[in-house]
Amino acid sequence: MSIRVGIDTGGTFTDFVVLQDGRVRVHKVLSTPDAPERAILQGLDELGLAGASGMSLVHGSTVATNAVLEAKGVKTVYITNRGLGDVLAIGRQARAELYNLQPEPVEPPLPPEHCLETGGRRDARGKVITPLTDADLAELKTAIERLQPRAVAINLLFAFLDGEDERRIAAALPADLFVSCSSEVLPEIREYERGMATFLNAHVGPLVEGYLQRLKAGVAPAPVAVMQSAGGLVDADQAARHGVHLLLSGPAGGLRGAGFVGRLAGCERLLSFDMGGTSTDVALIEGEPRLTTEGRIGRYPVAVPMVDMHTIGAGGGSIARVDAGGMLLVGPESAGAAPGPACYGRGGTEPTVTDANLVLGRLRPEAFLDGGMRLDAQAARMAVLRVAEPLGLTPEAAAAGIVRVANEHMARALRVISVQRGLDPRDYVLTSFGGAGGLHVCALAEALGMRRALVPVQAGVLSALGMLSAAPARQLSRAWPARLEDCAAAELEAALNELAIQGGAELAAEGLDAGRLQRRASLDLCYEGQSFVLTLLWEGIAATAAAFHAAHEARYGHRLARPVALVNLRLEVAGPAPDLVLPERAPDEAAPEARVAMPGLEAEVPVHARDALGAGQCLAGPALITETVATTWLAPGWRCEVDRWGNLLLTFSAGA
């Protein structure tokens, strides 16, 4: 018997999707941020899966993300060439407030005394300028003994051309240290971005390693795979060496899930938003999630491949308040999992978006988590009164205001990844998921002028479902600075084959058949003299150059009569995608299970149990559609059709 479990650890809830005997089960438990594995073990126990045979786990971890955002990584030493010890502190000299002549000082990623300088400097062709001597190595060993770090990041100039000196330093250090070399983490140009990726990889590596060891021990003998930021899986035993690749682990699962369900529903072009308890992630999906090497975590650039998304601090747990000028503000502060929104009854008193939705009647107190966690409507109302009274509003009017402000935050984020990139949101299907997404999908679609929306099946746990649809994969890169027209196709193919061998070896170590691996090659290109690149699929010299000119014109509105520069080679090596089959629904017409009064609406609103809806059934708003882990608010003017997998296909019909 095969049991596959997808697990997504979020800021408020830990989500579970279980595929067993052709059935899908879902579950949620409150997260335990101090020890995330505790919530996972609790959920498996409640599902009756503790110690189950034939079970395998796919997990999206927030350990690396939280360690970076909360500055709680391990004590790390950074080793670089002489004269470059302050590179991470200086960065790109970008200022958060361009015209502020007295900006607040920014804490460097690590203290100056933890930045060690040594020899081993090379030029832009990889030729040694200053050798790495035995005296240099002895000096480094003495400094490491004095500082007693848990991890070391090594980033030598132009090490991406030849990493021999980095490997010599690593070999000379104590064996119990966690060591990251830039020539392995990110073998690409730009010493700051490469150094930051290497530092972050070392900074969170021991934490990821310790956490995964505890999790594996708790679920043994079940194998554990971890979702990477680019949407592929890595075995837990290898994941600790790739900690910087786990920074968007959970969100990547959501985009994988959205793409999978979107294909089932016949919707390839998606504008997605994942609204959880703490934050909202927005992204574009065109068949597959887009990737970027210009992502950020907090204030740090992360140049390794990750899903291209924009995150804001607006979630179900976002706290509402009134500022000194009488303006209603929502977020980015969150009530988190403890104490959580006031309606959770865990000691929270601040009003949140979840409390506002409960006051507006869009959440049913008795139906939350399928009745497993009853919401306290009176506590929600008392919390909302904290902003209603200063504004001179009723609790219902204040709750509506909280929801409108939160919606505007999310609509602005959706415009950032669509309108600001020259894309029309109306060409896409708005796709909502996360525990709170369905409550806001209609309002957001209207704000963006969109007439179609999709609420996927299992939308409240879609990140966990998406993890079960992902394949083991590696994203590999190699710097290749040259004019594209001067390159020989055979030479580039040979270099890509070397990357394929490297990725294939890592996947073979996880038990994958080398003959079934798939590869996708791409190039980072720019016009000569530019600093930013566009990534294009490798289709030969001439075809790729032509595609770059067209992509540059589409993105920036013009093309240049300049040579095209090749910056990096990229290769994705992936195993076959798992055969994920969702159960289909029989045609049916289920009646509403209840009718409830809602503020601002004259007639009572029907409440439908989503699990009871049959394939082909159509509903007209206003209506509430409840399920175990989420609720969808079908607003007035909207219609909904249920497809054969249980997805909700929404269309705006007002005025049509």
What pLDDT digit, counting tens, does each position of 515-548 carry? 889 999 999 999 999 988 999 999 999 999 999 9
Beta-carbon-side half-sphere exposure of residue 622 (alpha carbons within 13 Å) = 17
Do 128 and 226 belong to one domain?
no
Do 36 and 93 belong to one domain?
no
Quick one: tokens of 577?
């995608």
Query: Domain for residue 427, yes or no?
Result: no
Do 86 and 202 belong to one domain?
yes
Do 233 and 201 belong to one domain?
no
The number of angstroms, rounded, from the C-alpha of 552 to the middle of its chain's C-alpha atoms is 26
Do 385 and 357 belong to one domain?
yes
Per-residue pLDDT at 206: 94
Run of H or E including 164: helix 164-172
What pLDDT digit, counting tens, does each position of 99-151 carry? 888 888 888 999 999 999 999 999 998 999 999 999 999 999 999 999 999 99
240 pLDDT more than 50: yes
Query: Domain for residue 300, yes or no?
Result: no
Do 149 and 24 belong to one domain?
no
Per-residue pLDDT at 370: 63
556, 574, 592: which is the final residue of a domain?
Answer: 574
Per-residue pLDDT at 16: 93
Q: Which of 11-15, 78-82, 575-579 has the lowest mean pLDDT?
A: 11-15
Per-residue pLDDT at 337: 66
Q: How many domains are contained in the chain?
A: 4
Q: Please list, in sequence order, all residues whose beta carbon lies within 8 angstroms of the beta carbon of residue 171, skipping any fewer than 6 positions away.
A: none
1 pLDDT more than 60: no
Contact 126, 97 (CB under 8 A): no
Per-residue pLDDT at 175: 93
Strand partners of residue 280: 275, 312
Task: Tell me the mean pLDDT in the region 14-18.
Answer: 92
Quick one: tokens of 432?
């909502």
Query: Domain for residue 177, yes or no?
Result: yes
Per-residue pLDDT at 181: 97
Task: Tell me the mean pLDDT in the region 253-279.
Answer: 89
154, 180, 207: which is the final residue of a domain?
Answer: 207
Q: Is residue 148 packed enough to be buried (19+ CB in 10 Å), middle (13-18) or exposed (0-12)? A: exposed
Quick one: tokens of 631?
């609720």
Query: Domain for residue 538, yes or no?
Result: yes
What pLDDT digit, counting tens, does each position of 609-631 carry? 998 999 999 999 899 999 887 89
Do 73 and 202 belong to one domain?
yes
Concatenate the DSSP letters of all residues of 284-310 into one string. EEESEE-EES-EEETTEEE-S-EE-EE
Quick one: tokens of 316?
């179900």
What pLDDT digit, counting tens, does each position of 193-224 carry? 999 999 999 999 999 999 999 999 999 899 99
Query: Domain for residue 652, yes or no?
Result: no
Instruction: End-to-end CA distance of the chain: give it in Å, rounded.
Output: 51
Do 325 and 357 belong to one domain?
yes
Query: Domain for residue 90, yes or no?
Result: yes
- Radius of gyration of the chain, Cα coordinates, nearest whole angstrom: 26
Residue 20: which CATH number? 3.30.420.40
Per-residue pLDDT at 537: 95
Q: Please list, in sequence order, all residues whose beta carbon lies within 8 angstroms of the beta carbon of residue 103, skipping any fewer than 6 positions away.
A: 95, 96, 97
Query: Domain for residue 604, yes or no?
Result: no
246, 271, 305: which is the final residue of a domain?
Answer: 246
Residue 200: which CATH number? 3.40.50
Per-residue pLDDT at 10: 79
Task: Tell me the mean pLDDT in the region 332-361.
Answer: 87
Do 199 and 101 belong to one domain?
yes
Q: Strand, helix or coil at 338? A: coil
656 pLDDT more than 70: no
593 pLDDT more than 90: no
Do 167 and 178 belong to one domain?
yes
What pLDDT digit, counting tens, does each position of 536-592 carry? 999 999 999 999 999 999 888 899 999 999 999 999 999 998 888 888 888 988 888
| Range(s) of the domain holding residue 514 | 473-574
Determine what percent of the chain is predicted with pLDDT higher than 70: 98
Query: Domain for residue 169, yes or no?
Result: yes
Do 169 and 229 belong to one domain?
no
Do 176 and 81 belong to one domain?
yes
Taking all residues of the chain, what is their mean pLDDT, rounded to a whole number? 90
